[in-house]
Amino acid sequence: MNNIDFTRIKPYGDTYNDGKIQLSFTLPVPYGEEAKEAGKKLLEKMGIEEPQITHAEEAGTGFTFIVAYGVVSHTVDYSAIEVPKVDSEVMDKYGVEDFIKEKIKRDVVIVGATTGFDAHTVGIDAIMNMKGYDGHYGLERYGGIEAVNMGSQVPNEELVARAIELGADAIIVSQVVTQKDVHIPNLTNLIELIEAEGLRDRMLVIAGGPRIGHELAVELGYDAGFGPGTYAEDVASYVVQEMVKRGLV
Amino acid sequence: MNNIDFTRIKPYGDTYNDGKIQLSFTLPVPYGEEAKEAGKKLLEKMGIEEPQITHAEEAGTGFTFIVAYGVVSHTVDYSAIEVPKVDSEVMDKYGVEDFIKEKIKRDVVIVGATTGFDAHTVGIDAIMNMKGYDGHYGLERYGGIEAVNMGSQVPNEELVARAIELGADAIIVSQVVTQKDVHIPNLTNLIELIEAEGLRDRMLVIAGGPRIGHELAVELGYDAGFGPGTYAEDVASYVVQEMVKRGLV
Amino acid sequence: MSKLGLDFKLVEEARQSARNIALDIQGLIDQHTSVTVERTVARLLGVDGVDPLDRPLPNVLVDKINSEGRLDLGIAYYLGNAMLHTGQEPQTIAEMVMKEELDLTRIPTHDFDEVKKKVLEVAQKTMVRIRKNRADREDFLRTLGEGPKPYLYVIVATGNIYEDVNQAKAAARQGADIIAVIRSTAQSLLDFVPYGPTTEGFGGTFATQENFRIMRSALDEVGQEVGRYIRLVNYASGLCMPEIAAMGALERLDVMLNDALYGILFRDINMKRTLVDQFFSRVINGYAGIIINTGEDNYLTTADAIEEAHTVLASQLINEQFALLAGLKEEQMGLGHAFEMNPKTENGFLLELAQAQMAREIFPNAPLKYMPPTKYMTGNIFKGHVQDALFNMVSIMTNQGIQLLGMLTEAIHTPFLQDRALAIENAKYIFNNMRDLGEEITFKENGIIQKRARQVLEDAHHMLKNIEVEGLMETIAQGKFAGVKRPVDGGKGLDGVVVKSDMYFNPFMDLMLGGASRE
Amino acid sequence: MSKLGLDFKLVEEARQSARNIALDIQGLIDQHTSVTVERTVARLLGVDGVDPLDRPLPNVLVDKINSEGRLDLGIAYYLGNAMLHTGQEPQTIAEMVMKEELDLTRIPTHDFDEVKKKVLEVAQKTMVRIRKNRADREDFLRTLGEGPKPYLYVIVATGNIYEDVNQAKAAARQGADIIAVIRSTAQSLLDFVPYGPTTEGFGGTFATQENFRIMRSALDEVGQEVGRYIRLVNYASGLCMPEIAAMGALERLDVMLNDALYGILFRDINMKRTLVDQFFSRVINGYAGIIINTGEDNYLTTADAIEEAHTVLASQLINEQFALLAGLKEEQMGLGHAFEMNPKTENGFLLELAQAQMAREIFPNAPLKYMPPTKYMTGNIFKGHVQDALFNMVSIMTNQGIQLLGMLTEAIHTPFLQDRALAIENAKYIFNNMRDLGEEITFKENGIIQKRARQVLEDAHHMLKNIEVEGLMETIAQGKFAGVKRPVDGGKGLDGVVVKSDMYFNPFMDLMLGGASRE
Ligand code: B12
Ligand code: B12
Ligand SMILES: Cc1ncc(COP(=O)(O)O)c(C=O)c1O
Ligand SMILES: Cc1ncc(COP(=O)(O)O)c(C=O)c1O
């Protein structure tokens, strides 16, 4: 039955290739038949066939909120997709500790912070604090890792200064506020500072946060990026293996 | 502030022309980074910029359910939209009754049914039964209207035969089941039967139902179509005014 | 103890009225058989397959005899006689009849006791198979286990049995406990059961024995994978009620939609036909350990949930009594009700809570089937998802048994894969997060909730008293249920009802009526 | 009567401890003033506007005097003295100082009683304006009316005040009762208040007096249209707490985020600074009839809602006592709490119900501010919408006062127009459909809910007893609130704290501390 053509996949409602998709959006036009028609036209421009406006309502004068379903005409070649991924094997805490003992034979120093105006600490704490997150201990509890969590709203300059002071093997930075892309200049500035100090080759620089992906991080000049659902062991595994790979031991 | 260019409207998230839109769909591929990437690619093909997969989860082996946001690049010319609409003024029950007394001066006969295999009666009952719907009386209660509700699962042939028998001024038909477009052949068949009987010019033929629009009805050869939220007075107003307009009194 | 302060004397009285109503009808039932009852007997004796025109052989057999006006003895007699005469099995006999090589009414008649003995021999094999299915189910439940109550019940409705299998497996993996394969539109009006695997249906997939088998084995497979027994549901209601029940018994279905009145009210099937058919179908379900689901929820999709709530209770009580007469145990009675209150109603949630709790207290051992909001669902899927959440909340607060999950797209299309996933997520979240809420709360003395429940009980009591006097058939003819009027001799299928002769013989009625538990 | 079987003797003891804790700190507060307290006095005396470098004139004035180490007398004294000297109004004097045409510390000193009299004259005008705002609000509430409780509270956060106005009006039309304009990221760390209308902010819009005015008049307009008074909220917390309170009093805001500890814990503002500032800001809010909102909800965004629930109660009790000392009435205390339980928690809803009901019973007259799920919201907006529905249910079941509506996109972006519309729809549906559910139910003796509430109360009692011994500042330094450690002399803004001289003079402190009601 299910001989799917992975070079041409489409959304699935209840039958292969039915292309069914759900949308919702608001148009800045008064509620009425014309608003629904405008919604349909928009869907058609997106390549959606049989657009159905299943719900439309006035959302404050001059706005119409629309819920729609339709059939996507486009297909995607799934077989050709290659996503850059953090290229290391995830070990658990004990695995990481053993790895350090055997292959690095000294303490690994990791300095972390949420930088710029960003005041969100829960993400970086989840990775670094003793207690960790969701039952996974944080870096502070790892034998063989010296983890320094500088907290939030840390200026990039202070973070770099501290990393130099401690001879850090890795800087890890969290960015949670991403509205209007405020995180991009801030992350870029950090890399520039590190390069200016001539440190870029001597340490790993890693970013994380709910809207940070590995791909974006690499694009911005970081070694790796970690998104939602990351645990301490994901970062730790990457850091220790990458240190060995790069001969930073 | 709000000088909207109605020739080029876009969805509105929290700022004019930000183009923000929400989507959800399922891809027939296993959950993973590649699935998310496929989702993004699909969005891009639809002309959605900055596609963001905000949620992805395995939905049964081999399927990935995706929730996404993005920015639509297309615009719609709202100012040029013209939607065909039922062209009559809606009067209330008393208005309709007076209109009949003054301008038609005889009983108007309306025969209704849900036809084909469709067993949904609530919609046609809402329009025809005494009790009506949502506080709006049905046609049976209108003075000057003889309303005959044949119920559901009525073969088109029987409906037409009854209309002939009663000398109906209007046939009104409900279609609720629209899956796989089953209503289209059924509605088409009804019009053909009426034409075959040479009755098409002598009565109004009207369709209704949750997925029936005026536009579709007209396309299929009906005089008018009524969608969700219709009340008896909407149809009644149309019927009596149109009868006068066409000289069917 | 009643949380509602219900007057259980009134409940007992209402129940007694329902008993009298059912007993009154049982007289009529006992005097009649129907074409589908006889086709069921043929099936249970092993007749299956179709003729070159796709007519099922049970129909071929039964129609032939009925056309000669001789069905009053029951098909079993003719098959038994033919077995003695030809030495062949029923299936071969049926094929011979189809090929017109044999005319069942024109072969020599054997001694009636001999015939019975022969038939019972064959019938016993079927009984063993059904008992084995029942034992297998119990085994699975013991070894694999099942999800906590309320069971999560979802539907699949693609029209294509193989696509249904995909969806059903996905749903089980997400947490569904029960999968119902919705039937194709209007199958209930067919006076035969389609044959073989099918891939084209409208709004659902045809109920065929082969489709049952395919889905059963898929669910057994995924059940092993997820470590829970996954129950399978189909629909008996319609013109083939006992036949489909028999197919379910043979293929180990677990739940059957089966209501004493649904076909009359919602499918315009003739009263006598439905009443006769429901009895045998329930006898079969009872024996096979199948849970029935009644259709009181449908009343509220047509009539108003506030005004007509008492008709739901009255109908539940009647369904209960018919079920008891057919040998069903309380644990098999998935009596229906539904969350169909207009969401705009102030304190509507309280009224719903009253109704659900009342059903729970009046039918303490029944795995009540609770149906989701459908009528007031709209194209606004976000609002719909919250309506479904409230529905789930009432269920966990009142300890319902079977939760037919609401879909946020109810007003739009039959469920997509993702709709089902979201529905399961919704229910799991609420059932877990509010697990013991029902245990924790009590209702105010004489508050809105208690008063509402009492009022509904009184109205139902009153209604049943009236029906007891006027008779069930007359009441239905007057449109007192769901606002639908059905004349006694109207509707489909009356010509398939046959008055039994004194010598009428149906081996399964006696074999099964004791119920498996009593063996 | 307590639904929870709470021990109110224990509550009284805990409250007494909180009173002692607050009184202990009040000693310190009374000895100090701060730059923002003095800027507030300047503002209330009529100083406004900015210099060519966009520095607000209140800052120009106060910084000048502080840089000379002479702020210990209070800015009022210098302004009064200059008024007598120049015969000009404070605004003109401030402009003269800005242009360096006048040096407030170098002009002749007038008789102190004369100075006070002059200052009080000007101050009275401001008092009249603030009283008028208060009366206007009361008038609107009388004539236009307001929505039923819980009030529907939504945020706008576009960064652009004019875009905010669009969103706010749309929300009011959909049913919102309260609109909060979220501030731009990190405004709380600015030691000045930006000036004029602003159109660029991150994650929010700057709190400026002009923005307050623009939004106030938009809401008055839409309030007339929808026939309900629409309340306006902004944030006082931060390094300018009393200044923003004053702006709010002048522009008829109705609610102010204002917590005695928030700045310390979540913005790393120095303790002394925050404690001093919060006092004056609350005195102003109290007089202006503004409801304050405290920030206990924030504890649970960082710490665990099950483990740390008692810190919320302890902090509410402390906030209450600080508020009473500042002349706020119970009806103005929008104490905060939040639905931040992990949705995976079995019976989590019951624990949440316990917490919300407990807050209700311990603070029966406070318009509690209930915050929505944020921490456990995900990119799955459908699930999120159901989480928000459960939050709304707890609120209506426990009779909360102010419902900060949850947004299904909480984990994704600041609210879109449609997110807000859906949030309002969600709350309205549930509040109406379950209107009297709270009235109707009682909780099981010694059940999960009652036990949970008692445990949390005991833990809070214990915590407060400890703080009473160790001192509030020491406790915070140890990280006992929200797991955040703040040293007594750490954090921002300590340099803006000044020890008052014996002759220190702040006209508004006395004028306002009685509260409007006592006039
Ligand atoms: C808690 C919270 C707060 C708390 C923060 C308390 C604290 N001490 O952190 C408070 C209330 C103070 C707050 C304030 C604000 N917040 Co806030 N907040 C949140 C909230 C609810 C949860 C964030 C969180 O803690 N998640 C849990 C953690 C564990 O997840 P995480 O951060 O994603 O971290 C994981 C991964 O991403 C990864 N990770 C994260 N960092 C790193 C770093 C490294 C190196 C690695 C390897 C991995 C990693 O690992 C972690 C564990 O798996 C979110 C909404 C939401 N549900 O997401 C809004 C949210 C993030 N906040 C938001 C905003 C706008 C603000 C404000 C700016 C609002 C305002 N105008 O005042 C303020 C100001 C903050 C500022 N200046 O930065 C927006 C951001 C919008 C956007 N996309 O830009 C959100 C999305 C809410 C919204 N819908 O508006 N917030
Ligand atoms: C109630 C109901 C039933 C009841 C019907 C009872 C009855 N006596 O009508 C029962 C339970 C029997 C039923 C059965 C089925 N149903 Co049904 N049912 C619904 C439900 C929940 C509500 C429909 C309704 O009554 N709406 C209220 C009325 C007032 O609204 P309305 O019909 O839109 O009518 C208004 C307007 O459209 C208009 N109008 C309608 N007709 C006309 C005619 C004229 C002339 C005019 C002027 C106006 C007009 O005016 C009315 C008043 O404003 C919908 C889901 C939903 N929430 O919409 C599913 C739904 C319509 N059913 C559906 C299906 C698939 C079925 C079945 C086929 C399922 C099955 N396989 O067994 C069966 C079989 C029915 C059949 N053969 O036709 C699907 C249809 C999918 C599709 N788009 O095709 C729906 C959408 C549910 C779903 N998501 O799967 N159903
Ligand atoms: C008892 C019962 N039987 C059958 C059905 C549906 O069957 P059909 O539409 O095939 O008649 C329902 C529908 O909800 C029902 O409640
Ligand atoms: C009491 C209080 N003040 C202020 C804020 C936010 O202000 P800011 O982020 O500008 O410090 C909050 C946030 O939730 C709060 O609870």
Chain centroid to CA C118: 31
Average pLDDT of span D319-328? 97
Average pLDDT of span B160-185? 94
What tens digit of pLDDT does each residue of B57-90 get?
Answer: 999 889 999 999 999 999 999 999 999 888 889 9
Residue B131 is among the residues annotated as catalytic for this protein: yes
Give the per-residue pLDDT at B2: 57
Residue D299 is among the residues annotated as catalytic for this protein: no
H/E run at residue D151: strand D151-156
Let me know if residue A9 belongs to a domain.
no
Do C50 and C94 lie in one domain? The reply is: yes
What tens digit of pLDDT does each residue of A79-95 get?
Answer: 999 998 888 899 999 99
Which residue, judged by its Cα, is nearest atom 33 of ligand 1? A210
CATH number at residue A242: 3.40.50.280
Do C92 and C167 lie in one domain? The reply is: no
Do C116 and C154 lie in one domain? The reply is: no
Q: Which has the closest alpha carbon to C179: C228, C215, C135, C227?
A: C215
**D514 falls in which pLDDT band (50, 70, 90)?**
low
A15 Rama sector, left if φ>0, alpha if ψ -120 to 50, beta otherwise: beta
Q: Is D439 within 8 Å of D3 (Cβ atoms)?
A: no
For testing contact with chain A, the best of D376, D417, D422, D484 (most A CBs within 10 A): D417
Do B104 and B26 lie in one domain? The reply is: no
CATH number at residue A42: 3.30.30.60
What tens digit of pLDDT does each residue of B192-240 get?
Answer: 999 999 999 999 999 999 989 899 999 999 999 999 889 999 999 999 9
Average pLDDT of span A213-242? 95
| D517 pLDDT above the threshold of 50 | no
For testing contact with chain B, the best of D198, D408, D417, D420 (most B CBs within 10 A): D417
User: Would you call D268 and A59 a contact, using CB atoms and an 8 Å cutoff?
Assistant: no
Q: Contacts of residue B73 in chain A, CB cutoff 8 Å?
A: none
Average pLDDT of span A166-192? 94
What Å distances lie between residue A177 and A70, A223, A228, B15, CA to CA? Answer: 33, 21, 14, 18
Let me know if residue D276 belongs to a domain.
no
Let me know if residue D163 belongs to a domain.
yes
Do A132 and A62 lie in one domain? The reply is: no
- The domain in which residue D84 lies consists of 32-124
D426 residue type, one letter: N
Let me know if residue D101 belongs to a domain.
yes
How far is Cα C97 from Cα C455, in angstroms, rounded to an integer? 59
| Whether residue D188 has its Cβ less than 6 Å from ligand 4 | yes
Number of domain units in chain B: 2
Neighbours of B, requiring at least 3 CB pairs below 8 Å, are A, C, D
Residues whose CB is less than 8 angstroms from the CB of residue C153 and which lie 6 or more positions away in sequence, other chains included: C176, C177, C178, C179, C180, C233, C369, C402, C403, C404, C405
For testing contact with chain B, the best of D205, D408, D412 (most B CBs within 10 A): D412
Calculated CA dihedral for residues A232, A233, A237, A239, nearest 10 degrees: 10
Do B65 and B115 lie in one domain? The reply is: no
Give the per-residue pLDDT at A2: 57
**Which tokens hold the place of D208?**
């400026």
Chain C interface, Cβ < 8 Å to A: 157-158, 160, 162-163, 166-167, 378-382, 409, 411-418
Select from C182, C262, C337 the residue to mutate for testing ligand 3; criterion: most ligand atoms less than 8 Å from CB: C262
Give the per-residue pLDDT at B193: 97
C169 residue type, one letter: K
User: Would you call C202 and B24 a contact, using CB atoms and an 8 Å cutoff?
Assistant: no
Buried/exposed B103-119: b ≥16 CB within 10 Å, e otherwise: ebeeebbbbbbbbbbbb
Do D117 and D50 lie in one domain? The reply is: yes
Residues within 6 Å of ligand 2 by CB: B 117-124, 126-127, 133, 172-174, 176-179, 206, 208-210, 226-230, 235; C 182-183, 185-186, 203-204, 266, 298, 301-302, 374-375, 377, 410-414
Q: Which has the closest alpha carbon to A23: D381, C417, B9, B83?
A: D381
Average pLDDT of span D207-213? 98
Do B47 and B161 lie in one domain? The reply is: no
**Which tokens hold the place of C62?**
């039964």
Q: Which of residues C124, C154, C171 is at a domain's end?
A: C124
Give the per-residue pLDDT at C483: 76
**D516 falls in which pLDDT band (50, 70, 90)?**
very low
Give the per-residue pLDDT at B1: 45
Do D42 and D106 lie in one domain? The reply is: yes
How far is Cα A29 from Cα A110, in angstroms, rounded to an integer? 53
Let me know if residue B152 belongs to a domain.
yes
Number of domain units in chain C: 2
3-state secondary structure of D144: coil
How far is Cα D83 from Cα D118, in angstroms, rounded to an integer? 8
How far is Cα B188 from Cα C242, in angstroms, rounded to an integer? 37
Pairing between strand C178-181 and A224-226? Answer: unpaired
3-state secondary structure of D31: helix
How far is Cα D161 from Cα D205, in angstroms, rounded to an integer? 6
- The domain in which residue B63 lies consists of 20-78
Give the per-residue pLDDT at D268: 85
Q: Closest approach of chain D CAs to the CA of B124, in angstroms?
A: 28
Do D378 and D229 lie in one domain? The reply is: yes
For residue A170, how many other CB atoms are within 10 A of its CB? Answer: 27
Let me know if residue D109 belongs to a domain.
yes
What tens digit of pLDDT does each residue of C342-390 get?
Answer: 999 999 999 999 999 999 999 999 999 999 999 999 999 999 999 999 9
Q: Contacts of residue C395 in chain D, CB cutoff 8 Å?
A: none
Entry pTM: 0.93
D441 Rama sector, left if φ>0, alpha if ψ -120 to 50, beta otherwise: beta
Do D94 and D162 lie in one domain? The reply is: no
Q: Closest approach of chain C CAs to the CA of A180, in angstroms?
A: 27
Q: Which has the closest alpha carbon to A6: B41, C422, C166, C163?
A: B41
**D519 falls in which pLDDT band (50, 70, 90)?**
very low
Give the per-residue pLDDT at C379: 95
- DSSP structure class, residue D230: P
Average pLDDT of span A59-87? 94
Q: Which has the closest alpha carbon to D5: D367, D315, D448, D395?
A: D448
Do A133 and A216 lie in one domain? The reply is: yes
Give the per-residue pLDDT at A1: 45
Residues (pLDDT < 70) of chain C are 514-519
Let me know if residue B83 belongs to a domain.
no
3-state secondary structure of C220: helix
Q: Contacts of residue C203 in chain B, CB cutoff 8 Å?
A: 177, 179
Question: Is A57 an 8 Å CB contact of chain C?
Answer: yes
Let me know if residue C464 belongs to a domain.
no
- How many interchain CB pairs under 8 A, B with C? 56
Give the per-residue pLDDT at B10: 97
What angle (nearest 5°) sits at the alpha carbon of residue B176, between those of residues B171 and B177? 125
User: Would you call A21 and B22 a contact, using CB atoms and an 8 Å cutoff?
Assistant: no
Determine the distance separating the centroid of ligand 2 and the alpha carbon of C300, expressed in angstroms. Answer: 13
CATH number at residue C217: 3.20.20.440
Do B60 and B170 lie in one domain? The reply is: no
Do A181 and A239 lie in one domain? The reply is: yes
* Residue in B13, B26, B83 nearest the CB of A12: B26
| Choice among A6-10, A70-74, B176-180, C504-508 with the minimum mean pLDDT | B176-180
Do B31 and B118 lie in one domain? The reply is: no
Residues whose CB is less than 8 angstroms from the CB of residue C408 and which lie 6 or more positions away in sequence, other chains included: C377, C381, C382, C384, C385, C388, C419, C422, C423, D382
Q: Is C177 within 8 Å of C223 (Cβ atoms)?
A: no
For residue A61, how many other CB atoms are within 10 A of its CB? Answer: 13
Residue C235 is among the residues annotated as catalytic for this protein: no
Which residue, judged by its Cα, is nearest atom 4 of ligand 3? C237
| Whether residue D187 has its Cβ less than 6 Å from ligand 4 | yes
Q: Which of residues B37, B52, B78 is at a domain's end?
A: B78
H/E run at residue D212: helix D209-226
Q: Which of residues A54, A78, A102 is at a domain's end?
A: A78
Q: What is the ipTM of this complex?
A: 0.92
Do C120 and C36 lie in one domain? The reply is: yes
Let me know if residue C95 belongs to a domain.
yes
Average pLDDT of span D493-499? 97
How far is Cα D488 from Cα D475, in angstroms, rounded to an integer? 10
**Which tokens hold the place of D69?**
């180490």
Do B152 and B234 lie in one domain? The reply is: yes
How far is Cα D507 from Cα D514, in angstroms, rounded to an integer? 13
**DSSP string for C8-50:** HHHHHHHHHHHHHHHHHHHHHHHHEEEHHHHHHHHHHTT---B
| D66 pLDDT above the threshold of 90 | yes
Let me know if residue C224 belongs to a domain.
yes
| D450 pLDDT above the threshold of 70 | yes
